[in-house]
């Protein structure tokens, strides 16, 4: 932990998978969507340590991209999020809560349900863990292109917090500026937009 630490290359900067032995595990809170779990973990350096975290289903995020008006534009949705007390701009997203459903199919379903859009082409952009110290969620961001509207008669009826969500198309360069300027703080949006801009650079 000092200036004497070794200099690493891109090849060195790779996560090391492998779960440490779990001595015991209990569900300390059972929620409607997620549970809180407490594990006693053997880290190999003495007594087991207690780690409490949210057990999460995982999620997908969709960067819907259109380029028919010149510069690439991405679709954003504004949704009220009670834990942070704000309506934040987000990307269409959803939980991996249907057993056996491939992640790209979940992404396609969420894009149709939240934005009334279909995509002809799908590509995985990036996968990340948003808060590895407190939950085991893994989020995969997909880029959706070749967009078309879902026919009116086939559209999903949105309810609760999804009803009446404002949506809009923002040029990719403006989205990057909003991220870097601190105007938006939604993690998946920030990571998705910056990753897409980097791949398009």
Q: Which helix (H) or strand (E) holds 128?
A: strand 117-128
Long-range contacts of range 8-14, CB-CB < 8 Å, 24 or more positions apart?
Answer: none
- Number of residues assigned to the chain: 201
Cβ atoms 51, 39 nearer than 8 A? yes
The residue among 86, 85, 96, 89 whose CA lies nearest residue 55 is 96
Catalytic machinery residues: 162
Neighbouring CB atoms inside 10 A of 61's CB total: 24
């Amino acid at each position: 932990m000092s200036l004497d630490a070794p200099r690493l290359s891109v090849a060195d900067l790779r996560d090391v998978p492998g779960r440490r032995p779990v001595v015991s595990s209990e569900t300390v809170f059972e929620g409607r969507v997620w549970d809180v779990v407490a594990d006693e973990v053997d880290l190999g350096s003495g007594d087991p340590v207690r780690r409490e975290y949210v057990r999460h289903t995982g999620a997908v995020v969709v960067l819907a991209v259109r380029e028919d008006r010149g510069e690439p534009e991405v679709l954003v949705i504004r949704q009220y999020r009670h834990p942070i007390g704000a309506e934040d701009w987000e990307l269409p997203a959803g939980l991996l809560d249907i057993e056996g459903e491939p992640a790209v199919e979940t992404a396609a379903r969420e894009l149709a349900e939240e934005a009334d859009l279909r995509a002809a082409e799908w590509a995985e952009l990036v996968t990340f863990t948003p808060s590895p110290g407190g939950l085991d969620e893994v989020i995969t961001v997909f880029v959706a292109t070749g967009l078309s509207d879902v026919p009116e008669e086939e559209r999903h009826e949105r309810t609760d917090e999804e009803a009446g969500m404002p949506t809009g198309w923002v040029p990719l360069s403006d989205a990057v500026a909003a991220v870097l300027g601190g105007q938006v703080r939604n993690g998946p949006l920030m990571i998705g937009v910056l990753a897409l801009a980097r791949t398009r650079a």
